[in-house]
A and B are shown apart, each in its own frame.
Chain A
Amino acid sequence: MKNIDRNTPNFSRRSALQTAACGFGSLAFSGLFAEQQSVNPLIPRQPHFSARAKRVIFLFMRGGPSQVDTFDFKPELSKRHNEDLGGGRKYYQSPWQFKRYGECGLPVSELFHHTAKHADDLCVINSMHTDIANHPQAILQMNTGSFQFVRPSVGSWVVYGLGTENQSLPGFITINPDFSAGGARKYGCAFLPSSTAGTPINQWGGGDGKGAPTLKDYTIPYTTNETISKSEQRSQLDLLQTLNRAKLKQDQINETLEGVIQSYETAFRMQAEMPGLIDVEKEPGYIIDRYGINTEITDNFGRACLMARRFVEKGVRFVQLNLGFWDQHKDLVPGHEKLAFASDKPISALLTDLKERGLLEDTLVLWGGEFGRPPILNKNKGRDHNAAGFTMWMAGGGVKCGLRYGQTDPTGQTAVSEKVHLHDLHATLLHLLGLNHEQLTYRYGGRDFRLTDVYGNVVHDIIA
């Protein structure tokens, strides 16, 4: 309670909490949680101002997809095609055809011809740029705002700011996160309350010891207990809660214990709800087909996308999907095709599905990698790293539809006009959620921290 002199004890926490019932939001942002961690940080809260988006689905394309081969059409590049740059490097036009889609005529490469059907819902930002063209740092910066220091992830900040709507589920879920490049820090909460951390689903390259990720047979840890039936467990839980409540009666006032009692009920619901929720095969056949589930190449990401839809539908605040590795220094064509084919249909299905359910209006979908790739082919028929310009797109959640915002130079290498830095993207994302990125702060070790550090400008031009 930094705003109250902690040396004046004649302040009642109870009355603070009673006030909180009406104005929790303002208390939360002044750092209340730094002090009162027995309060459940997941309780839904009002944003700073009225929000355009209520939840986020972040399709994180780790490794960095090439913009000139996906969403940044560069006709000029063909004129310089094969222009030698020395060292076996040359300008190289996209090996994939672009077509214009939708009423807005958005040019999209054939790699994403399914997603392109939603052209009139997309807001493509061609002028993204970031600080470092090196995966581990850039991935951390994309996910936490900082490549140098340990900071909370974007999802944790959002859950810290808004809480979550379904107390039976985590507020932040990340699907198929990998263990490398910062590991759990990509969805970690650093100094924020630990319940704001992302709950990983099918973390790979670690933990369970399995190799390539597959969601098909995935189960959530500690939600199953083969030694006991559900009804037996319920009666065991009843005994436990009787003992807890007896203790509470004895303690008279014990907020922590009240929290524990609450958490058992939530956990019991979560263990009932989560396994069913991640079992996407419960969906009708046409939905399963739409996402490409049970077709080898699209199965895994299709499941991830469908899970994401099921999660947001049930009130999860922030869902992140991780797909990679788009890092084709060698053999651009097969590498990019494999990943685009794996994700294009599922992403398109997700947008269709959200729209059909009226969810797209207030769900922000965000697609992109930690950086992009240059319009240059190296001697290994691949493209290297490029932080000076890349593309991300958004859909739903109050962004302008059918917009192509910002530009790279005629070759597609460097963002030149209406540039959007990563920090600006973060500021805009929070803004769409009704959060002022300068006010969403948390005090740790004597300093107020925020997602955008001292940077970030909201890109108002892309907001509808």
Chain B
Amino acid sequence: MSRLLSILLIAGIGTASVTQDKAALEFFESKIRPVLVTHCYECHSSASGEIKADYLLDTRDGIRKGGKSGRDALIPGDINGSQLIEAIRHVRDDLKMPKKKLPDSVISDFEKWVALGAPDPRNGISKLPREIEAESHWAFQQVRKPDLPNVKDTTWPRDRLDYFVLSKLEENLMKPVEDADRYTLIRRATIELTGLLPTRQETDEFCNDPADTRTAFAKVVDRLLADPGFGERWGRHWLDVARYAESSSYSRNMLYPYAWRYRDWVIDALNADLPYNRFVRQQIAGDLLPADSPKQRDHQTIATGFLTIGPKTLNEADPLLFELNVADDQIDATCRAFLALTANCSRCHDHKYDPIPAQDYYALAGIFRSSRNLAGVATNVRFEHQDAFPLGDEKEQLLKRREAAITHAEKVQKEYLELVKKRNLIREPLEKQGLDWKKNPTPELKAAESVVQAFQAKVKSAKAAIPAPPVYAMAMAEAVVMSREQWAELFQSNKKEKKPTTPRIHDSPVFVRGDHKSPGKIVPRGTLSLFDKFLKFPVIDEHQSGRLQLANWLADEKNPATARVMVNRIWHHLFGSGLVDTVDNFGLLGSKPSHPELLDDLAVRFMQEGWSVKKLIRHLVLSRTWMLASTQDPSQYEFDPANRLLWRFSPQRIEGEVLRDCLLFVGGSLDRSRPQTSQVEAIANQMEKIQQREIGRRDYYNKDVKTDVTCRSVYLPSARGAIFDSMKLFDAPDPNLVVGARKNTTVPAQALFLMNSPLVIEQAENIANWITDQADTDKYIDEIYYRLLTRQPTSEEVSAIKEFLSRSGNNRDSWARAIHSLMATSEFRTVY
């Protein structure tokens, strides 16, 4: 870094531009430069220890560009507009530089200099040390296939990845522990790949397979990868990243009735092993990708739900701020999920650490602001996202027919009311005369009455003729192309009727300091510029939002982040911690990879094998590294407690979802079929008006959610702020945030749940009910250990349980309690 710095400094003392007047330059050299050097360079030059306010004034570029404030510091010719002059004049309380005011004569020299156009011979570009660091930051370099490293023990590795791991271990004079036994392996693989436990039969089959362990294990792994439980388990991992939830959160927590279709899309995509580059593309621009059939188009469009399932500030009175908040969530989700970058830091100012200027942020904002959110959610304040995306082959015709039928029904109803009115006009005089028209109707009234009666059937049939609405999904669509004026007019006219307004395709301005009331210069729609040197972003056609280009840019093999980030996410789930352990941040404040070459090797392999998630997982779990035992080794532990070097398999805690599923599974209660919808849609449909679907309003939603369901946890209703205890207590991610790595806390509330929750008690009782002969303790203890922990009990354990059973009566209840204890053990919720 210091060498780079000095190169820059040398560049800074370059030759004067010939266009600058010689006398003016002399003025700079005699009056300005000495003052800068004496009074400013200490804190504001590349050589300063700590550069204050990110302001470098040791080059022409730097002194003009300014620092943190984001404002130009020096505008040639404009004395009063230049912050530098403001600062040395000491007119602003918060900006007085240098601390000791310069003599008035010097200040007037500077004013004169600026008025002259601030001639300055100091060429070169000022770069902050962190900008220089960013240029060489590992994550911003292209992915390169490394050579396989040399290892001493060539018999140990099985997969390519093992060479990288072993080489690093050998370098550190460490060695891997022994291989895991078959019991451990099948339990580990079943939980990690499907989120369930192996049955006794599956365990026995694998453990008795005469083939060598790896061959036999490959069969198990292939079976598990083909199991629908795979998508349910790994889909949940992605849903954490996608901040999936079924309501809007924030101040008005409105239900998202159709979010679940995105959830199912994710699960299906993983089960079908949709190549990851397509998985990415569809979530950003599935509606714009070529499709063979309307059905496929629908399916791809559902994927864009990714962009609009995030939290929304639906109580925001300012439509612009609402729009910017939505775009902010979309920028954050996109950049964190696919690139592991925190681009949303640049909403208010250039990113403090990563090379993401605010301009890039607003280039992305332009793309998202030029797209429509079809979310099916609205409040009385915000209704732009009211429409949802209708599904089905003939949805357009259906919607037209429906609209026509509704109009017709309304017309008939109106006619009917006219007839009623007519009849009432006949009634009224009779009433006034005090005649009982009910008992003795006049012929005229009789006739009018029969017309009304006859018409009632017509009203009924007109209503019945309205076809059912199509089914809906949450999705994105392109906005319309129109001028600002046209759009403003449309917006105004729509405002009264509170109808959704359609956004227009347009470039966004930079909003200075993130303040929506301070629009700055307009930036063309685009993406982050930090990968420009490897991957140019195309120019976006004026009729397009740019989502399609963004999707292709993200899924491009030359994008240095996409493959690395996903490979690392998969590694994190299988090994308990990513090669880069800040899975959602590959920026300068993220961690460095523990095995950078391995990360690149896997990324290359991932892309070469068609971005297949299943293939990659198969490689990983059949590696010798993953098949290691989790045996503790105190001396190696002392050296590498976090197991960053992978000398053993790190025991991992299972998530709340897996815990609940496994409890139901061992208790024989788990319903493995997929619900055809979500409870949330059904509950939403109870409210005809979309604005009424607010959680907590007159206790709506909470009293309606069924909790005694036995489907897999991924299908449970998951409104923001209202998730099930079994998940909430066990570190469920906050769905307002992209969460690639869950927390792993140990708190008493979890223990209380495991001790006292009916869920655990009931499943323990279920198992106890299967025990036909309570006296046959050895047999049943053995059986229960297989079911719950996939292993034989130790003699110490057998005697502890036997003692408990005999003390507590050795009956069904005491068995249930013993089984309950086993379910509550740490081991039950740990993958060893």
Contact = CB atoms under 8 A, between A and B. Distances in A.
Contacts of B642: 6, 9, 13
SS class of chain B's interface: helix, strand, loop or mixed? loop
A150 B734 contact: yes
A251 B832 CA distance: 10
A193 B745 contact: yes
A37 B741 CA distance: 12
A207 B632 contact: no
Contacts of A261: 826
Interface in A259-286: 259-264, 266-268, 270-271
Given A150-B737, A446-B590, A227 B317 contact: no
Interface stretch (A182-190, A316-324, A353-361): A182-190
Nearest to A9: B640
B697 A180 contact: yes
Contacts of B797: 243, 246
A230 B638 CA distance: 41
A235 B755 contact: no
Nearest to B764: A227
B634 interface: yes
A10 B826 contact: no
B737 A446 contact: no
B817 interface: yes
Contacts of A251: 632, 651
Interface in A211-264: 211, 221-225, 227-228, 232-233, 235-237, 239-240, 242-244, 246-247, 251-254, 256-257, 259-264
Contacts of B594: 6-7
Given A137-B315, A222-B755, A185 B721 contact: yes
Q: Which of A37, A148, A194 has the most CB of B within 10 A?
A: A194
Given A6-B592, A232-B817, A445 B745 contact: no
A255 to B, nearest CB: 9
Nearest to A169: B748
A221 B725 contact: yes
Nearest to B737: A150
Nearest to A446: B589
Contacts of A271: 752, 755-756
Interface residues of A, number: 83
Contact of B801 (A135, A140, A239): A239
Interface string B310-339: 010101010000000100000000001000
Interface residues of B, number: 90
A293 B796 CA distance: 54
Given A209-B702, A222-B752, A193 B651 contact: no
A223 B336 contact: no
A307 B722 CA distance: 26
Contacts, number: 236
Contact of B653 (A137, A139, A188, A256): A256
Contact of B702 (A6, A195, A206): A206
Interface stretch (B115-123, B177-185, B250-258, B534-542): B250-258
Interface in A152-188: 170, 178-185, 188
A9 B645 contact: yes
Contacts of B591: 6-7
A198 B749 CA distance: 12
A194 B745 contact: yes
Nearest to A41: B745
Contact of B253 (A140, A183, A446): A183
B611 to A, nearest CB: 26
Interface stretch (B31-39, B458-466, B494-502, B578-586): B578-586
Interface string B606-634: 00000000000000000000000000101
A38 interface: yes
A115 B250 CA distance: 34
Nearest to B746: A259
Contacts of A148: 313, 325
A183 B641 contact: no
A232 B746 contact: no
Contacts of B817: 228, 232, 236, 239
Given A38-B744, A183-B722, A233-B755, A205 B637 contact: no
Contacts of B720: 183
Interface in B503-527: none
A237 B808 CA distance: 13
Contacts of B641: 12-14
A182 B751 contact: no
A193 to B, nearest CB: 6
B450 to A, nearest CB: 49
Given A183-B696, A183-B722, A184-B721, A223 B637 contact: no
Interface of B: 172, 249-253, 311, 313, 315, 317, 325, 336, 342, 345, 352-354, 581-582, 584-585, 587-592, 594, 632, 634, 637-642, 644-645, 651, 653, 694-697, 699, 701-703, 720-722, 725, 731, 734, 736-738, 743-753, 755-757, 761, 794, 796-797, 800-801, 804, 807-808, 817-818, 820-822, 824-827, 830
